[in-house]
Structure 1
């Protein structure tokens, strides 16, 4: 096959492929399914997927949270922001006070969706400091002596190598 013929075949093939629409591109349409849960503290997380093809929602869907707590407390409407946890994940941040909440998340048209769940909000826990670091200001913590030991061994090895090379030099003379 000549070079010109190959070039024509490549150009025609590329043009035909450009005209064919990508199947997943138009499959992301219609309603969304929302999986809503508490985040273990005072927030809510939502996983949003398209109902038809089960792919995560990437962009273009506005989620809104409302909630009713014990004693008639309410929150919302609060727009939810996409989370850095991955595609299709949304978070509210700390918006619920401790207690039991009935939370509803909705998505308006053109991608309608709605989910309601009961969430138990709690006070956010803080991580305790690692053991043995209280009052320790060095970055290496309680293992700083290992650096000193390693340095001492290195110095001894260097001195031994120098002494051995001098001994060999005297033996040759």
Structure 2
């Protein structure tokens, strides 16, 4: 019975000494960098305090206070497609100046605040929209019709030569070099 208690104490001691997971491996803290997205949204970059990329999903919460007592949130922001540790709120803020706070839950316990100026999203002007590039060479000449035409000419010439050669040879004639 004594050895069983000693073994149980050893197991508990080993479990307590082991890191609690990926956060503990990096010191348990993350660094949040908050910025506006150029329109009405917020972007966040999250990295471990030691500078390594965040390698797992963290549930970040955003709250914002704007001019005139306006508020937004709390809202959970989603990972963005830019890569690990990037988060985006999407369109959330109306135009104006906002004080945005993003926080991470335990075990990370991190908070960051930034001033963000939200703007009306801009749509591209019709002048800025370009037609897709057509497949032309630098001189502006389409090459494939010329290639197709050249192939047609070569095939037609070969067919005419072959037919003429067959007509020039009589029924009993053999072309030179075929022995006989």
1:116-155 matches, within 5 Å, as: 116-128=113-125, 130-131=129-130, 133=131, 150-151=144-145, 153-155=147-149
Question: 52, 64, 67: which one pairs with 2:64?
Answer: 67
Give the TM-score normalised by the residue count of structure 2.
Answer: 0.66
Based on CA coordinates, which of the two structures has the bigger radius of gyration? 2
Alignment CA distance shift 1:89-1:140 (3 Å)? closer
Within 2, Cα distance between the matches of 1:141 and 1:160? 28
- Segments of structure 2 that go 5 or more residues without pairing to the other structure are 1-17, 170-180
Within 1, Cα distance between the matches of 2:145 and 2:84? 48
* CA displacement at 1:83 relative to structure 2: 1.3
Alignment CA distance shift 1:28-1:126 (3 Å)? same
More helix by share: 1
Within 1, Cα distance between the matches of 2:29 and 2:114? 19
Give the TM-score normalised by the residue count of structure 1.
Answer: 0.68
Question: 14, 31, 34: which one pairs with 1:33?
Answer: 31
Q: Aligned-pair RMSD on alpha carbons? A: 3.1
Q: Which runs of 4+ in 1 moved over 6 A?
A: 139-143
Per-residue CA shift, 1:50-88, capped at 9, x if unaligned? 11x322223242211010111111001011111121001
* CA displacement at 1:35 relative to structure 2: 0.5
Residues matched between the structures, number: 142
* CA displacement at 1:30 relative to structure 2: 1.1
